[in-house]
């Protein structure tokens, strides 16, 4: 179905990240309506009159994935997409938000799907591009945006977990694998972090250093 209109609609789309099985994943949801009914896509809604952007992003998450408001750790803007041809129904401007869900967040399994961030592909609209660019934006914001970084890594984490997060984001953004050999030294210089007194065992290799937010 096409809509004949001149004034673009405003869509609030979210890229919901969640930590599962030791890696970073993205939550998508099955679309209920055309276009692309029955297809997995990023959770999104049209902005309502007098609705704030973050409110709409939260509404998209709760309505499309079934997650509870209290299980959303972080929401922040991540970019604007204004290609007039991005939506077959007509011009629609998408204001994209990054969201971070708690690792144990309960999702509506009949609609929501969790996929490793570097493996997501074949989504409708321009959602593949949105995920790729958002992953790059989040990668560049690590350690600079402390609330975002803390939401992704949790209150306590290891150097190995931080390195894996960076690799996941780089792969999703289509970037080369970053050199993490100096990551431990960088973390040690971060005044917002405190090194744990005991290392954390990680497989057969040398125990990984543990870190906590101060």
User: Considering only CA atoms, which of 75, 78, 73 is closest in space to residue 96?
Assistant: 78
Q: Dihedral (C-alpha) 196, 200, 205, 209: value to the nearest 10 degrees?
A: -20
DSSP states along 21-40: TTEEEEEEEE--SSSSTTSE
Q: 9-20 and 92-101: which strand pairing? A: parallel
By the 8 A CB rule, do 77 and 138 touch? Answer: no
pLDDT band at 168 (very low <50, low <70, confident <90, very high): very high
Single pTM value for the model: 0.92
pLDDT band at 1 (very low <50, low <70, confident <90, very high): very low
Average pLDDT, the chain: 93
pLDDT tens readout for residues 3-29: 555 789 999 999 999 999 999 999 999
pLDDT tens readout for residues 129-167: 999 999 999 999 999 999 999 999 999 999 999 999 999
């Amino acid at each position: 179905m096409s809509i004949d209109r001149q004034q673009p609609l405003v869509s609030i789309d979210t890229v919901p990240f969640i930590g599962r099985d030791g890696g970073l994943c993205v939550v998508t949801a099955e679309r209920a309506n055309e276009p692309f009914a029955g297809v997995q896509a990023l959770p999104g809604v049209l902005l309502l009159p007098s609705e704030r952007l973050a409110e709409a992003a939260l509404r998209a998450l709760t309505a499309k994935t079934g997650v509870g408001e209290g299980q959303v750790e972080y929401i922040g803007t991540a970019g604007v997409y204004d290609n007039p041809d991005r939506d077959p129904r007509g011009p629609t401007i998408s204001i994209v938000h990054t969201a971070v869900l708690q690792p144990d967040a309960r999702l509506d399994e009949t609609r929501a799907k969790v996929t490793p961030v570097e493996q997501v592909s074949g989504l409708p609209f321009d959602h593949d591009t949105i995920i790729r660019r958002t992953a790059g934006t989040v990668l560049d914001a690590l350690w600079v945006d402390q609330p975002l970084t803390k939401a992704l890594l949790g209150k306590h984490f290891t150097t190995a977990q931080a390195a894996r997060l960076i690799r996941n984001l780089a792969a999703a953004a289509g970037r080369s694998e970053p050199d993490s050999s100096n990551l431990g030294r960088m973390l040690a210089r971060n005044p917002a972090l405190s090194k744990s007194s005991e290392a954390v065992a990680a497989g057969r290799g040398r125990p990984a250093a543990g870190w906590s937010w101060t």
